Structure 1
Amino acid sequence: MLPPLRALVVFEAVARLRSVSLAAKELNVTQAAISQQLKQLESFLDTQLLERGRSGMTLTHAGQKYHPVVSYTLGQLKKKTQSLFGEEKSEVLRMRVNNSLAQQWLLPRLKSFYRQYPFIRIDIDTVDWPSRNPCDTVDVEITNGRYGGSDIQTERLFNEQWHLVCSPKYYEKHKEKLVRFELNDLDAIQVKGYEDDWYSWLHFHGLTSAPPRVILEVNNSLQAMQAAKHDIGLLMVRSLVAMDMLEKGELVIAMPGEMPEERGHYLITQSKRPPKVQLFCDWLYAQMSHSKPDLEVMLQH
């Protein structure tokens, strides 16, 4: 009889770490999912493997005998996988990622990917705009724009919102005008390619004020947020890339309200995904589901 592989991975992590919560963190799943997998394995084997005590999880006699077998087997499977599908064939996952999304969202989370798939090495090129031929020389593309094609699979990743932000110092200096929605006398930072978004913002919120004076244009949102952080002016930015700086207090919401982002970030792959690409996509979906609470908290502020 062959036990479910996922349950074995969960058992190995809990037995090694002696903690459901630590195992959940390492495998990037919920504690409830960990408990469910353990119950599934114990039911399959009709044997109790773990006991919960004051000092954490402890192995039963059967668990002590089974853990080294599982640990060794998974280790051998990992080594053989790397040997058969190593760097020459499939270890390197080549990606093209939007610069701001990579810096503000993807890179801070990659450590958990390497914990799960240490035999995959990621090679990232950052870009400001979508390529004309996505996935021509890369396996995965995550860019701000959609692309259609018979051999390409495209999925929108996030439902983002536009927010008007500035530095705390800039807000305090111009608070009265911001409260009265008087933008025409204020300075602004703009990302190239989004010139019409100021008028969209004003129209969406039913404001008659003229847009602020754009005194600085930059290539991407990351540069724009750094400029806003240093008190240069107002900035329209999407919730996902601004979340970290808003939570740290480096930027604040300049005016209440938000505007849905119609374009958004898209995941682009070949229609037929190789195993290494599918592993990354599955990990990415899990990360997205964990980001939703963070976004909701940020939007409340």
Structure 2
Amino acid sequence: MKVPPLNPLKVFEVVARTGNLTLAASELNVSQSAVSRQVAVLEEYLGVQLFTRERVGVRLTEVGEAYARRIGPAFCEIAAATEAITRKYSNNVIRLRTYTTLTARWLIPRLPHFKARHPEVEVAITNSSAPLDFGAEQCDLAIVLGDGHWPGAEATLLLQDVVEPVCAPGFIAAGAPPEALRGKRLLISKYRKDDWPRWLAYAGLPELFETAETMVFSSSILTWQAAMDGLGIAIGQQHMLEADFQAGRLVRPFARPLRTGQGHYIVTPALQRYSSKIAAFKDWLMAEAMEK
């Protein structure tokens, strides 16, 4: 594919469209002599004369007119494609990608605070547990659980991942030692299946997971609901259950929280055009996370 130098080509398109070197120079914010030099570069590259130099200006040659008819629409298409990509940063929609548990348990209860401050901004939420790929997803930012490292992205820690067993009041006596788990059904979330073995090893009971009765659920939300209904004891994510602890629907019988080393991160593409609405949303998220 033979493509001429793009800067001279753009200069040619403007001169051909305006029909005037002075007007072209003004639109391009360069001198008239710079415009003439760029046109000469393109003519030399193509080996043809595109303009006839006249005493009062320039005029397209027959070859130049034919070239301009094809070049002009190409630049219009480039402009339209560029506008389509950048439009999302100028409208009032924030496209957020996260996952169901954080959306339901942490984000949605707080969103009215953001809407009160920014009523003109719409937050469009997509929930997904698939690996994050900004190249394939139409989103401005994401909140993702991980170690803070995503290729081609920038990550800011929002919430540390802190876990511990939770159950309905009275299911296990408050202040009981971890050995009280023996004989109890362990409730497991499909996407957090390593939480129990990790916490049991932390509590000095690594062998208990292999012998305990278990029940697996498709989400953490269902697992916690089962714990509230007395089906067993679950592993809770501290920041997702604050309302349930305050309301007395769930308790932490052992009071032995474990930091997993992971966290919920605000993740944005490494190359992203600045947007005041996205910056405001990120600042708001961080402020909410800092409130106790």
TM-score with structure 2 length normalisation?
0.62
Matched, 1:201 2:216: no
Stretches of structure 2 that go unaligned for 5 or more consecutive residues are 1-85
2:115 matched residue in structure 1: 114
Stretches of structure 1 that go unaligned for 5 or more consecutive residues are 1-84, 294-301
* Amino acid aligned to 2:133: N
Deviations 1:47-84 (A, max 9, x none): xxxxxxxxxxxxxxxxxxxxxxxxxxxxxxxxxxxxxx
Give 1:255 deviation, angstroms. Answer: 1.9
Distance in 2 (CA, whole Å) between partners of 1:214 and 1:90 is 52
2:216 matched residue in structure 1: 217
Distance in 2 (CA, whole Å) between partners of 1:125 and 1:101 is 12
Where 1:144 maps in the other structure, the secondary structure is strand
Where 1:285 maps in the other structure, the secondary structure is helix
2:251 matched residue in structure 1: 252
Q: For 1:149, which of 151, 154, 178 is the aligned residue?
A: 151
Contact 1:169 1:231 in 2 (8 A): no
**Alpha carbons of structure 1 residues 185 and 263: separation in structure 2 relative to 1, 3 Å:** same
Contact 1:134 1:268 in 2 (8 A): no
Deviations 1:219-276 (A, max 9, x none): 3221211111111111111100121111110001132312112222111112334222
* Amino acid aligned to 2:195: D
Matched, 1:186 2:187: no
Deviations 1:260-301 (A, max 9, x none): 1222211111233422211100111111121xx2xxxxxxxx
1:133 matched residue in structure 2: 133
Distance in 2 (CA, whole Å) between partners of 1:285 and 1:130 is 24
2:39 matched residue in structure 1: none
**Alpha carbons of structure 1 residues 169 and 182: separation in structure 2 relative to 1, 3 Å:** closer
**Alpha carbons of structure 1 residues 228 and 274: separation in structure 2 relative to 1, 3 Å:** same
Identity %: 23
Distance in 2 (CA, whole Å) between partners of 1:88 and 1:282 is 17
Distance in 2 (CA, whole Å) between partners of 1:229 and 1:134 is 37
The alignment of Structure 1 onto Structure 2 pairs a total of residues equal to 202
Where 1:108 maps in the other structure, the secondary structure is coil
- Flag the structure with larger Rg: 2
Contact 1:96 1:141 in 2 (8 A): yes
**Alpha carbons of structure 1 residues 180 and 194: separation in structure 2 relative to 1, 3 Å:** closer
Distance in 2 (CA, whole Å) between partners of 1:195 and 1:170 is 22
Distance in 2 (CA, whole Å) between partners of 1:126 and 1:214 is 31
**Alpha carbons of structure 1 residues 86 and 169: separation in structure 2 relative to 1, 3 Å:** farther
Distance in 1 (CA, whole Å) between partners of 2:122 and 2:263 is 27
Distance in 2 (CA, whole Å) between partners of 1:116 and 1:260 is 33
Deviations 1:74-133 (A, max 9, x none): xxxxxxxxxxx9989421111112211111111111112112111111111223x24341
Where 1:181 maps in the other structure, the secondary structure is helix
Matched, 1:238 2:237: yes
256-265 or 229-238: which moved more? Answer: 256-265
